[in-house]
Amino acid sequence: MRTERCGRCGSHLQSRDTGSLGRVWAFWLAGLICYVPANLNPMLITQTLLSSSKSTIVGGAVDLIHHGAIGVAIIILVASVLIPVGKFMAIAYLAVSVRRGSSISSARRHHLFEVVEFIGRWSMVDVFVVAILSSLVQLSVVASIHPGSAALTFALSVIFTMLSAQAFDTRLFWDTKDARNETT
């Protein structure tokens, strides 16, 4: 299939992006690989007068629950665990459904994709929290907070999954349905 330039905005025109699914899976895998160390390594290193503690993403949320800040703990858990895991599963399901067809309607799958794309950016909230805390809490010996290596891998994981969602050619959802209708 030949590609043309759009007469209006100059971007590449392609009836269907044939390389789309390949890029989706590549970024998806890269995101998943980064997500594993992001959960195993410490996100925050807190040093107070008496002690030094390292906390992972889930560990930090558990600490918050012990302090009684359940609302914030839920925000962190949703943004850093529920959304990324849900996103990995949703993109994988959508990519498979384009190839194999699905019992769920095109409109439903398109809707799911829009939710994934809208909500994915919000996972960055935890990285920003680490950035704010480690610049603000620098009180010499009393208390100081430093970023752990998980901040980097988690940010990479979010960026890769955003790229994965952006690589998806959403028109493919509707094609499979049309193609099936035409053949029957």
Partner 1 sequence: MSVATGDETDPQRATLFGGIPLESLIACPQCDALYVAHMPAVGERAVCERCHTVLIAPKRKAGLKIIALTSAVIILVAAALFFPFLTIRAAGFGNEASILDSASSFESGPMVLLALAVAAMIVVIPLIRTLLILYVLIPVVADRPPYAHAKHAFRLTQELKPWAMAEIFAIGCAVALVKVADLAHIGFGPAFWMFAVLVVIVIFNDNYMCTWSVWKSLELDQKEA
* In the block, residue with structure tokens 């789309």: 20
Residue 92 structure tokens:
């994988």
Among candidate residues 31, 143, 129, 20, the one with its CA nearest the CA of residue 84: 31
Among 97, 134, 161, 164, which residue sits at the site for partner 1 (rule: CB under 8 A)?
134
Closest to 150 measured CA to CA, from 74, 22, 59 = 59
What minimum distance in Å lies between the beta carbon of 26 and partner 1?
Answer: 19
User: Quick check: 117 binds partner 1 (CB under 8 A)?
Assistant: yes
Interface residue with partner 1, options 21, 43, 155, 167 (CB under 8 A): 155
Torsional sign, CA 88, 93, 99, 104: negative
CB of 59 to partner 1, least distance (A): 13
Q: Work out which of 40, 82, 89, 139 binds partner 1, going by CB under 8 A.
A: 139
Q: Which residues are bridge partners to 54 per DSSP?
A: 45
CB of 92 to partner 1, least distance (A): 20
| Pair 153, 160: CB distance under 8 Å | no
Phi then psi for residue 145, to 5 deg, are: -125, 135
- Length of the chain counted residue by residue: 184
Q: Is 50 one of the binding residues for partner 1 (CB under 8 A)?
A: no
47 and 130 Cβ atoms separated by less than 8 Å = no
Distance in Å, CB of 152 to partner 1, minimum: 5
Choose among 34, 69, 76: nearest CA to 164: 34
- Name the minimum Å distance from CB 82 to partner 1: 15
Q: Can you tell me which of 51, 140, 183, 184 binds partner 1, judged by CB under 8 A? A: 140
Is residue 83 close enough to count as binding partner 1 by CB under 8 A?
no
Instruction: List interacting residues with partner 1 (CB under 8 A).
Output: 1-2, 4-11, 13-15, 48, 64, 67, 69, 71-72, 75-76, 106-107, 110-111, 114, 117, 121-122, 124-129, 131-140, 142-143, 147, 149, 151-152, 155, 159, 162, 166, 170-171, 173-174, 178
